């Protein structure tokens, strides 16, 4: 009986610009003004209690009313979501403020992309699509490939040829085909758009675009629930296309509208790498429209999107919520990775290093107060980008398998 109560409250798609409402079908943009459309839900019909939510499985579908899958038998589940939120006491001592880590590197494929991909592939199944795909800087590739494997769908991934080897291998192991495009993410994405139109493939970040980002909202729901149905003062968000940041904004608004949390000004900060910081640069210049970066150049390849699809709306949300958009250098990113590993025992890819480094800067510059609560979104594991970690010979001790060699270790240590 309880499963029946969990029914999507999706009622339509709404144009971000003119507000026109459409039925929740396979469409990407408003037919009048060509601007993106976002799902809308009948929040007045939400009658689920907190107790009921707490009884549900700890995963992506815990808040199924607020996700756009109409028939839950179409859900493809690889066990994503409900990742740990931990108090980062050591890092707080180092940087200041009251820091929490939301560790989305613990998702099945090691990144937060298991959230949007989970919704996208479930939607593809709802539509009866046979071929799925994505344009990706690497993490979405692995997620879509994993879900496609579980759902028994053919999968084609478009990625820049410079994508990290770990992410390419991971995509291949799930059985997907990967099309490496000799160019930037934006060029790979252009190819993916054409494949969606000309070949009819369900390219999740194109074909399923309005639905796909809904999966990312679950990060906001989980953070609130894990804090005891409260919102933090700040969330530091690694930002590429801006999709995650905008999804968090919508998720927070829904929580408040449903009365699940008290209203609060949660500042969302966009964290970018200096080598590809279209949103942070445009923020500092006071622009309303994001100026693209033509040639991204950063170790944070997962965030290297020069022409962010949701950049304008991300910029608007950051400002509306009183947040900042910052860019940190590759050295700061590596330092961020090391800080998180050394102080919290959590190993992240560069995107997480961007978040730690940005948080440090925002605290130093006074944008985050010493007593305020901050959630750092650590969106992927460092196991995906092992080649970035220098080999630390000074930490390695080599011995022969003898007692005398072993006892010498004491003197070295
Ligand atoms: C995709 C991704 C993000 C956020 O990207 P958006 O395109 O802004 O939604 C953040 N961190 C990692 C590791 C990612 O893969
Ligand atoms: Zn419109």
Take residue 386 and report the two structure tokens written for it: 């092992």
pLDDT of 246-286, one tens digit each? 999 999 999 999 999 999 999 999 999 999 999 999 999 99
Tell me what the mean pLDDT of segment 169-180 comes to.
Answer: 98
Take residue 38 and report the two structure tokens written for it: 């976002």
Q: 37-41 and 10-15 as β-strands: parallel, antiparallel, unpaired?
A: antiparallel
In this prediction, residue 158 carries a pLDDT of 98
Q: Is the pLDDT confidence value at 2 over 50?
A: no
3 state DSSP class of 111: strand
Alpha-carbon gap, residue 243 to 116, rounded angstroms: 10
3 state DSSP class of 21: strand
**Using alpha carbons only, what angle is made at residue 242 by residues 268 and 311, rounded to the nearest 5 degrees?**
105
CA of 200 relative to ligand 1 center, distance in Å:
26
Taking the CA of residue 153 as centre, how many other CA atoms within 13 Å lie in the half-sphere pointing to its CB? 28
pLDDT of 290-340, one tens digit each? 999 999 999 999 999 999 999 999 999 999 999 999 999 999 999 999 999
Q: 154-160 and 177-181 as β-strands: parallel, antiparallel, unpaired?
A: parallel
For residue 181, the cross-strand partners are 160
Query: Would you give the end-to-end CA distance of the chain in angstroms?
Result: 61
pLDDT of 76-93, one tens digit each? 999 999 999 999 999 999
In the structure, ligand 2 is a single-atom ion and the residues with CB under 5 Å from it are 15, 17-18, 20, 30, 32-33
CA of 36 relative to ligand 2 center, distance in Å:
8
- Residues having CB closer than 6 A to ligand 1 are 111-113, 139, 238-245, 302, 349, 351, 379-380
Q: Is the pLDDT confidence value at 412 over 90?
A: no
Alpha-carbon gap, residue 187 to 165, rounded angstroms: 19
Q: Is the pLDDT confidence value at 4 over 80?
A: no
Residue with tokens 């469409």: 27
Q: What is the mean pLDDT of the chain?
A: 96
Residue 88's Cα: distance from chain center in Å? Answer: 20
For residue 16, CA distances in Å to 32, 65, 197, 220, 246 come to: 12, 22, 23, 21, 12
Which mutation among 112, 215, 245, 248 tests ligand 1's pocket best, with the greatest number of atoms within 8 A of CB? 112
pLDDT band at 5 (very low <50, low <70, confident <90, very high): low
Q: Helices then strands (H, E): number in the chain?
A: 15, 13
CA of 113 relative to ligand 1 center, distance in Å:
7
pLDDT of 10-40, one tens digit each? 999 999 999 999 999 999 999 999 999 999 9
The total number of residues written for the chain in this structure? 413
Residue 331's Cα: distance from chain center in Å? Answer: 23
Instruction: Show Cβ contacts of residue 27 under 8 Å, excluding neighbours closer than 6 positions.
Output: 13, 37, 210
Alpha-carbon gap, residue 200 to 195, rounded angstroms: 7
Give the dihedral sign, CA 211/217/222/228: negative
CA of 38 relative to ligand 2 center, distance in Å:
11
Q: Is the pLDDT confidence value at 6 over 90?
A: no
For residue 326, the cross-strand partners are 271
């Amino acid at each position: 009986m309880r499963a029946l109560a969990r029914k999507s409250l999706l009622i339509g798609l709404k144009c971000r610009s003119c507000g026109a409402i459409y039925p929740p079908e396979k469409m990407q943009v408003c037919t009048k003004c060509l601007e993106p459309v976002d799902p809308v839900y009948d929040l007045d019909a939400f009658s689920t209690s907190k107790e009921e939510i707490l009884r549900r499985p700890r995963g992506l579908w815990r808040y199924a009313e607020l996700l756009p899958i109409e028939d839950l038998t179409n859900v493809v589940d690889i066990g994503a979501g409900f990742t740990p939120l931990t108090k980062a006491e050591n890092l707080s001592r180092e940087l200041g403020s009251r820091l929490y880590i939301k560790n989305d590197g613990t998702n099945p494929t090691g990144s937060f992309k298991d959230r949007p991909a989970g919704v996208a592939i479930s939607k593809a199944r709802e539509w009866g699509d046979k071929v799925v795909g994505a344009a990706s800087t690497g993490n979405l590739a692995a997620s879509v490939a994993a879900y496609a494997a579980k759902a028994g769908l053919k999968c084609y991934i478009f990625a820049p040829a410079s994508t990290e080897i770990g992410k390419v291998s991971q995509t291949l192991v799930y059985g997907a085909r990967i099309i490496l495009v000799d160019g930037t993410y934006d060029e790979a994405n252009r190819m993916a758009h054409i494949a969606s139109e000309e070949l009819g493939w369900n390219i999740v970040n194109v074909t399923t675009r309005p639905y796909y980002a809904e999966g990312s909202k679950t990060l906001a729901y989980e953070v609130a629930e894990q804090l005891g149905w409260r919102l933090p003062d700040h969330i530091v968000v690694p930002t590429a296309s801006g999709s995650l940041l905008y999804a968090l904004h919508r998720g927070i608004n829904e929580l408040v509208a449903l009365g699940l949390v008290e209203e609060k000004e949660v500042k969302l900060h966009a964290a970018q790498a200096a080598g590809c910081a279209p949103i942070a640069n445009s923020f500092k210049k006071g622009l309303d429209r994001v100026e693209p970066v033509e040639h991204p150049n950063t170790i944070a390849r997962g965030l290297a999107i020069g022409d962010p699809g949701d950049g304008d709306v991300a910029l608007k949300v950051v400002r509306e919520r009183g947040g900042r958009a910052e860019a940190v250098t590759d050295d700061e990113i590596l330092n961020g990775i090391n800080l998180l590993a050394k102080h919290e025992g959590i190993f992240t890819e560069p995107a997480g290093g961007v978040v730690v480094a940005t948080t440090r800067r925002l605290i130093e510059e006074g944008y985050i107060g010493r007593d305020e609560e901050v959630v750092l979104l650590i969106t992927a594991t460092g196991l995906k980008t092992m080649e970035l970690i220098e080999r630390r010979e000074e930490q390695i001790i080599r011995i022969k398998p003898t007692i005398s060699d072993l006892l010498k270790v004491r003197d070295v240590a």
